[in-house]
């Protein structure tokens, strides 16, 4: 009932020739796949990757909430729409930690994306310390609610990505059980905040050191609807295997 998504976040990696190769390979590979494949290159390559898109979509890694103006270095939702981009990552833990993206700013970005009909992939997740102190669920709930409160959104206006910070780029993946427990909890929070129907239809992705070996078990969990993939999305064969794992669930 929920079509899975596998999104590859290249972060600040890649080149024009890498993008070209990836686009060709994914166009050929994803033609008959029952998965939405999303490529998220650095913004300088976004238009190139989107122009080549036949069987995938693109996601920006960031966006500004203002419509236009004196915001050197930023891009707007309208600019992303203008080049055909369909998704935008919001609240990635690297942006929260390294670029001081506080919750108020993320809420504005989310609202701007929804308003512009860009599909936000809202990233939430706890640190290792928060997990060890038994705060993981409270932290994720707070991140989720501070981003969506006040918005009357439907399941086709948002994607949530649970990305425990301790699993991002560390090689340490959450166990399928740990991930499932949090995904199910996120669905409960959405049901309480918005509606049971919306919660049941919303895609919730797992992110954090997903690789070709761990993908199948993670994606077979009932509340995991695909993945947000960092490091492994730069290895074309690994990324294809991860997409295949999502398709076979």
- Selection from 25, 11, 92, 88 nearest residue 54 by Cα: 25
- To the query of whether residue 92 is one of the catalytic residues in this protein, the response is yes
> Residue 160: in which H helix or E strand, if any?
strand 159-162
Contact status, residue 165 vs residue 125, Cβ threshold 8 Å = yes
Q: Does 222 bind ligand PEP (CB under 6 A)?
A: no
Choices 66-74, 124-132, 214-222, 230-238; region in contact with ligand PEP by CB under 6 A: 230-238
- 40 lines the binding site for ligand PEP (CB under 6 A): no
* C-beta of residue 120 within 8 angstroms of C-beta of residue 79: no
Contact 228, 160 (CB under 8 A): no
**Paired strand residues for 37:** 6
Taking CB under 6 A as the binding criterion, the range among 22-30, 50-58, 64-72, 222-230 that sits at the site for ligand PEP is: 222-230
User: Which of these segments, 63-71, 102-110, 177-185, 223-231, binds ligand PEP (CB under 6 A)?
Assistant: 223-231
Catalytic residue status for 163: yes
> In the complex, what is the shortest distance from the CB of residue 168 to ligand PEP, in angstroms, rounded to a whole number?
4
Q: Report the candidate in 91, 154, 72, 161 with the shortest Cα–Cα distance to residue 117.
A: 154
Residue 230 contacts ligand PEP per CB under 6 A: yes
- Given the complex with ligand PEP, which of 22 and 198 has the nearer CB atom? 22
DSSP symbols for 187-223: HHHHHHHT-HHHHHH--EEEESS--TTTHHHHHTSTT
Q: Which of residues 191-210 bind ligand PEP (CB under 6 A)?
A: 207-210
Ranges within 148-177 binding ligand PEP (CB under 6 A): 163, 168-169
Q: Which of 213, 218, 204 is nearest to 241 (CA)?
A: 213
Pick the catalytic residue: 92, 94, 101, 183?
92
- Applying CB under 6 A, what is the total number of residues that bind ligand PEP? 13
**Residues classed as catalytic:** 92, 163
* Residues in contact with ligand PEP by the rule CB under 6 A: 9, 163, 168-169, 207-210, 228-232
């Amino acid at each position: 009932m929920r079509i899975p998504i596998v999104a590859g976040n290249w972060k600040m990696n890649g080149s024009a020739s890498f993008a070209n190769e990836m686009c060709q390979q994914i166009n050929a590979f994803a033609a008959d796949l029952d998965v939405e494949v999303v490529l998220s290159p650095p913004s300088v390559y976004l238009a190139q990757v989107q122009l080549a898109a036949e069987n995938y979509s693109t996601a920006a890694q960031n966006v500004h909430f203002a419509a236009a103006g004196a915001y050197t270095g930023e891009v707007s939702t309208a600019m992303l729409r203008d080049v055909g981009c369909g998704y935008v990552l919001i609240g990635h833990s690297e942006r929260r930690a390294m670029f001081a993206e506080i919750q108020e700013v993320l809420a504005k970005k989310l609202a701007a994306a929804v308003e512009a009909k860009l599909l936000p992939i809202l990233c939430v997740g706890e640190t290792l310390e928060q997990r060890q102190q038994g705060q993981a669920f409270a932290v994720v709930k707070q991140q989720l609610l501070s981003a969506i409160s006040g918005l009357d959104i439907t399941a086709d206006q948002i994607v949530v990505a649970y990305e425990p910070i301790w699993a991002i780029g560390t090689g340490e993946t959450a166990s399928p059980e740990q991930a499932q427990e949090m995904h199910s909890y996120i669905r409960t929070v959405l049901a309480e905040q918005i509606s049971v129907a919306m919660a049941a239809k919303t895609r919730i992705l797992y992110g954090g050191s997903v690789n070709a070996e761990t993908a199948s078990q993670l994606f077979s969990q009932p509340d995991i609807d695909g993945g947000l993939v960092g490091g492994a999305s730069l290895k074309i064969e690994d990324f294809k295997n991860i997409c295949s794992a999502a398709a076979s669930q």
